[in-house]
Structure 1
Amino acid sequence: MLKRIQLMLADSAWFIPFLYGFGGVVLTFLTQYFGGFFREILPEVLYLEKDSAATVLSSSFTSLMTMMTFSFSTILVVLTTYSSQFSPRTVNNFLTNAAAKHTLGLFILTTVYGITNLFLIRTADDDAVLASGVSVLLVVGSIWAFVKFIQTISVSIQAERLLSALHREALSVIKSQQDALEKDEVQIVPKRPVHPFEGHAVYAPRTGYVQLFASEKQESDSCHFESVVAVGDFVAKGDLLGYWSEEVDADIEPFQIGEVRSSIQDPAFAIEKLSEIALKGISPGINDPNTAIHAIHYIGDILRELSRMPEGDFLFSNRSSDWHVKRKSLETTMFEAFAPIKTYASHDIFVIGSVFEAIRIARLEAHPSSFEAYEGILGYFEDVIDWDDLQERERAFLENKLMQAKKVKTA
């Protein structure tokens, strides 16, 4: 349940602004009904007569609407930049940016507070009211938030900042998996090509991406479960998800399926975003190979942390049941990340060299079970690169990078 709530909040751009709007209503209630109690405590300058307060509230609302209009225009420009220059998959990274949501929320709070007080100010019992003074303070806070928002916008559209954010996003997911392994909340077991049982089948109730595996539901169930899909896979309505060892309550859905892919339990999705940014960088329209190289290096560091865990599937076990959940293999993750880069950058030796450099970085702390996957991806590049078509110095450069990736001493 907690993971589902986390997914809803992570992908939601409206929840925090909604809380701010509700806070505006609460603040209106407090100032309307309790403003008189603080008359002797607060400075007299915060209290104005009804007509003057109405004028201040109206002016504050007008100035705030101007800032909101400019902010929304800026947001649309940034969303266009994210989609065209980086990747459509990275748009959600900006929409869920904390600074953007809190700035929008503060605007909504101030607007709701100003409108509601402007409506209720004529019904106030006192000749002098507190609402206008509080409104001025909120507008000043909104101006500060607006300046902070512009600064955040100018930073967020920098490719290096986005790459770093995606890097941290993936590492946080992997860290949570590593912590779960250390706490024995989950185990990693060898992949099983043949399922031990085929009991009651579980089918996808809708079309979409597998966003989450709800391991917390195991506490209320004693049946064994075997999945045939992994988090991040795309399934159609009616696709087979796995098997229960016996009949269970229909309300128990082991997987959360949604329209968009989520990285909460899927570090490969963050790797995919970085790979798409690299592809954009090497496209003729963008022509920014240095950004592509930077993204590929980050992919290598994510793979380094990911391959510290042994290869295999996840096993959630308690005293009464075992839930075996398929996990995307390291070989598949690397192939999906690097194969498109090779296709579109086959004649850019520096981009291909950065792929070998990323593989070298990834192997630094690799678990022995990952050695075969790394040898496989290096063998793939050896086969598909047209070595005879390279000039002598280009071939020597790539061969040197390849040998470094092969000879790296693993932990």
Structure 2
Amino acid sequence: MFKRLQLMLADSAWFVPFLYGVGGIALTFLTQYFGNFFRELLPEIVYLDKDSAATVLSSSFTSLMTMMTFSFSTILVVLTTYSSQFSPRTINNFLTNSASKHTLGLFIMTTVYGITNLFLIRTSDEDVVLASGVSVLLVVSSIWAFVKFIQTISVSIQAERLLSALHREALSVIETQQQAVEDGKMHIVPERSVHTFEGQAIYAPRTGYIQLFASEKQESHDVDFESVVAVGDFVAKGDLLGYWLGEEALDVDVFQIGEIRSSIQDPAFVIEKLSEIALKGISPGINDPNTAIHAIHYIGDILRELSRLPEGDFLFSNDKSEWHAKRKPMEATLFEALTPIKTYASHDIFVMASVFEAIRIARLEAHASHEETFEGFIDYFEESLDFEELHPRERAFLTNQMMRARKVQT
């Protein structure tokens, strides 16, 4: 349940602003019905007569609408920049940015507070009201949030900041998995072949991506489960998801399926975003190979943390049952992340050198079970390069990078 709630909050840009809007309504009723109780505690300057308060509320609402219009225009420009220069998959990183959500929420809260008070202020039985004073404080807070928002915007469109944010996002997911293994909450077992089990099959109720594996539901059940899909896989309605190894299938949604992929349990999705940013950088339209190189280096560091765990699938076990969750192999992650870069940048020796550097970084702390996979990919990229057409200096440079990737001690 917690993971599903975390997924909803992480992928929704409306929930936090909605809470601020509800807070604005609640604050309206507090100031309307309890404002007189604070007359002895608050200075008289925050209390105005009803006509003056209505004027202040109207003026503050008008100025706030101007800031909101500018903010929304800026958001549209940033979304266009994210989609055209980075990747459409990174748009959600900006929309769910905490600074953006709280700034938008504060604007909505102030707007809702101003509108509701303008509607209710004429019906107040008091000669003076507190609403205008609170409104001024909210507007001042909105101005500060607006300045902070502009600063956040200017930082978020920098490629280095986006790459760093994606890097932290992936490391956080991997750290959670590593901690679960260390605490014994999850085990890693050799990959199992997909075959028909003696049990009850379950099928995808809808088309979409596997977003979560709900391992927290295992505690109340004593039936084993075997999955045949991994988090991050795309499934169509009716696709086989797994088997309940019992006489009857439990009425439990083991998988959360949604329209978009989520990185909460899928660090490979973050690697895919970085790979797409790298591809954008080496495209003729953008022509920014340095950004591509930085993205590839971050991919290597994420793979370094990911490869510390041995190859295999996840197993959640307790005294009652064992739930097996398939995990994307390292070979598939490497192939999907780096092969598109090889396809479009085989002519750029510096980008290709960064690929070898990423593999070298990934092998620094890798488990022995990944050794063959990394060696195989070095051979794969070596075969894709035409060393005969390279200048001796270029050939020596690439050969040196490739040998550094091979000589890493694991």
TM-score range, shorter chain: over 0.9
Say whether the 8 Å CA contact 1:226–1:324 is kept in structure 2: yes
Shift in CA distance, 376/198, structure 1 to aligned 2, threshold 3 Å: farther
Once the 2 structures are TM-superposed, how far is the Cα of residue 248 of structure 1 from its aligned partner? 4.4
Match status 1:67 vs 2:82 = no
Say whether the 8 Å CA contact 2:194–2:228 is kept in structure 1: no
- 1:293 matched residue in structure 2: 293
Distance in 2, Cα, partners of 1:247 & 1:210 = 26
Match status 1:8 vs 2:8 = yes
TM-score normalised by length of structure 2:
0.99
**Which residue identity does 2:252 align to in structure 1?**
I
Say whether the 8 Å CA contact 1:331–1:376 is kept in structure 2: no
Shift in CA distance, 82/249, structure 1 to aligned 2, threshold 3 Å: same
SS in 1 for 2:211: strand
Distance in 1, Cα, partners of 2:247 & 2:207 = 23
SS in 2 for 1:316: strand
- 1:187 matched residue in structure 2: 187
Alignment: residue pair count:
410
Say whether the 8 Å CA contact 1:223–1:320 is kept in structure 2: yes
Match status 1:81 vs 2:78 = no
- 2:113 matched residue in structure 1: 113
Say whether the 8 Å CA contact 1:47–1:130 is kept in structure 2: yes
- 1:256 matched residue in structure 2: 256
Once the 2 structures are TM-superposed, how far is the Cα of residue 406 of structure 1 from its aligned partner? 0.2
Distance in 2, Cα, partners of 1:341 & 1:248 = 47
Match status 1:142 vs 2:142 = yes
Shift in CA distance, 320/250, structure 1 to aligned 2, threshold 3 Å: closer
Say whether the 8 Å CA contact 2:201–2:249 is kept in structure 1: no
- 1:209 matched residue in structure 2: 209
TM-score normalised by length of structure 1:
0.98
Match status 1:52 vs 2:56 = no
Shift in CA distance, 333/34, structure 1 to aligned 2, threshold 3 Å: same
Cα deviation per residue 1:272-304 (whole Å; 9 max; x = unaligned)?
000000000000000000000000000000000
Say whether the 8 Å CA contact 2:87–2:273 is kept in structure 1: yes
- 2:394 matched residue in structure 1: 394
- 1:267 matched residue in structure 2: 267
**Which residue identity does 1:377 align to in structure 2?**
F
1:10-409 counterparts in 2 under 5 A? Answer: 10-193=10-193, 195=195, 197-248=197-248, 251-409=251-409
Cα deviation per residue 1:69-90 (whole Å; 9 max; x = unaligned)?
0000000000000000000000
Distance in 1, Cα, partners of 2:326 & 2:129 = 63
Once the 2 structures are TM-superposed, how far is the Cα of residue 133 of structure 1 from its aligned partner? 0.6
SS in 1 for 2:151: helix
Say whether the 8 Å CA contact 2:357–2:405 is kept in structure 1: yes
SS in 2 for 1:256: strand
Distance in 2, Cα, partners of 1:389 & 1:366 = 34
Say whether the 8 Å CA contact 2:12–2:96 is kept in structure 1: yes
Once the 2 structures are TM-superposed, how far is the Cα of residue 219 of structure 1 from its aligned partner? 1.1
Once the 2 structures are TM-superposed, how far is the Cα of residue 194 of structure 1 from its aligned partner? 5.1
Structure 2 unaligned spans of 5+: none
Aligned residues with identical type, % of pairs? 80
SS in 2 for 1:408: coil
Distance in 1, Cα, partners of 2:247 & 2:71 = 54
**Which residue identity does 2:255 align to in structure 1?**
F
Once the 2 structures are TM-superposed, how far is the Cα of residue 250 of structure 1 from its aligned partner? 5.2
Once the 2 structures are TM-superposed, how far is the Cα of residue 249 of structure 1 from its aligned partner? 5.4
Structure 1 unaligned spans of 5+: none
Distance in 2, Cα, partners of 1:179 & 1:263 = 17
Say whether the 8 Å CA contact 1:195–1:226 is kept in structure 2: no
Cα deviation per residue 1:253-280 (whole Å; 9 max; x = unaligned)?
1110000000000000000000000000
SS in 1 for 2:311: coil
Query: Segments of 4+ in structure 1 off by > 4 A?
Result: 247-250
**Which residue identity does 1:269 align to in structure 2?**
F
Once the 2 structures are TM-superposed, how far is the Cα of residue 396 of structure 1 from its aligned partner? 1.0
**Which residue identity does 2:186 align to in structure 1?**
V
